[in-house]
Amino acid sequence: MQGALAGALALPMLAQAQSADPHRWQLNMTRGVTPTANAAYDAHMFVLWACVAIGIIVFGVMAYAMFTFRKSKGAVPAQFTHNTTAEVIWTVVPVLILIALAFPATSGLMRMYDTSESEMSVKVTGYQWVWKYEYMGQDVEFTSRLDRKSDEVRQSGVDARTANLPHYLLDVDNPLVLPVGTKVRFVITADDVIHSWWVPALGWKQDAIPGIVNEAWAKIETPGIYRGQCAELCGKDHGFMPIVVKAVSKAEFKSWLAAEQAKRTPAPAVEAAPAAAPVEPAPAAVEPAAVSTAPKTEQTPADAAAAG
């Protein structure tokens, strides 16, 4: 209880430590690592500066009028009740400004929702309180949960700041590995209550709702580790289901995927990767037949290499 409380209290502080790495007391939004995230950032900055300019103009004119036409200088209030020209101006100008602001926002949103021509799909399922990732059509799936060290610290009741964990509550056991320069489509759902999958560097947040499949996509430009969290209050451990995306080169992703497939496919798992134990035990029924075929497939590349 005490540990959970300490963890909950530490959250606002640590939420700032996430990627693409904002710093403490940072006030503005960060640039992301995808074209849509950067479009969102640009739209945000455009609107911000438009608001700053409008604020300076409006308050500037107001301050000038108050100072120049003050009562002590003998100013007399104007005596008019209606001015069609002024009304047309203060209606048309804001409408034009709103259209100018809506344009980048709408075009950005339309691009965000366009998942066509994606090169691979990942299914994300939220559970209390883990994420499950399935690389669709690749036979690779795993769960991703809070790393054990963070969990131990949060349950121990000690002050998290003394634990010397740079990514306290933001690390997971199995990160979602993705290739850079690839349009990845996400299909997002949940299996118990509503969650929300959010990695700020990707520039979007998508609700994970039981019985509904939401879509999103990302084309990550820069390799790196990008952190996020569940963004929909989903129960007592909502604060303890972080997200880690590891973006790697296409070649690196290919070999990672092959290694995962080998690990998780019952056939080569026994022979091919004895050092890396599978996270989930392979189904026993498939094993005997699989073992007998494994040496053959193993020897072929080795023999070829020896011959060459």
Q: Count CB neighbours of 203 within 10 A.
A: 23
Long-range Cβ pairs for the range 19-24 (8 Å, 24+): 19/199, 19/200, 19/201, 19/224, 19/225, 19/226, 19/227, 19/228, 20/200, 20/201, 20/224, 20/226, 22/200
Kindly give, in sequence order, each residue whose CB lies less than 8 Å from that of residue 291, ignoring residues fewer than 6 positions away.
Answer: 270, 271
The distance of closest approach from Cβ of residue 128 to Cu ion in the complex, given in angstroms and rounded to an integer, is: 8
Residue 195 or 219 having the CB closest to Cu ion: 195
The distance of closest approach from Cβ of residue 84 to Cu ion in the complex, given in angstroms and rounded to an integer, is: 55
Tokens of 203: 């520039």
Residue 238 or 263 having the CB closest to Cu ion: 238
d(CA 281, CA 202): 33
Residue 195 or 227 having the CB closest to Cu ion: 195
d(CA 100, CA 291): 65
Residue 154 or 195 having the CB closest to Cu ion: 195
The distance of closest approach from Cβ of residue 206 to Cu ion in the complex, given in angstroms and rounded to an integer, is: 13
| φ, ψ (nearest 5 deg) of residue 181 | 65, 25
Site size with Cu ion, rule: CB under 5 A: 4
Residue 201 or 234 having the CB closest to Cu ion: 234
What character string, x for contact with Cu ion (CB under 5 A) and - otherwise, covers 214-253? ----------------x---x---x---------------
Residue 192 or 303 having the CB closest to Cu ion: 192
What character string, x for contact with Cu ion (CB under 5 A) and - otherwise, covers 149-188? ----------------------------------------
Tokens of 167: 């990514």
Q: Looking at 17-25, 108-116, 191-199, 268-276, which segment touches Cu ion (CB under 5 A)?
A: 191-199
Residue 35 or 235 having the CB closest to Cu ion: 235
The distance of closest approach from Cβ of residue 245 to Cu ion in the complex, given in angstroms and rounded to an integer, is: 17
d(CA 242, CA 145): 7
Q: Count CB neighbours of 221 within 10 A.
A: 15
The distance of closest approach from Cβ of residue 227 to Cu ion in the complex, given in angstroms and rounded to an integer, is: 15
Q: Looking at 52-60, 192-200, 262-270, 290-298, which segment touches Cu ion (CB under 5 A)?
A: 192-200
CA-CA-CA-CA dihedral for 206, 211, 212, 218, to nearest 10: 50
Q: Is the peptide bond before 49 cis (omega within 30 degrees of 0)?
A: no
The distance of closest approach from Cβ of residue 291 to Cu ion in the complex, given in angstroms and rounded to an integer, is: 42
The distance of closest approach from Cβ of residue 191 to Cu ion in the complex, given in angstroms and rounded to an integer, is: 13
First to last CA, the chain: 63
Contact between 145 and Cu ion per CB under 5 A: no
Residues found near Cu ion in the complex (CB under 5 A): 195, 230, 234, 238
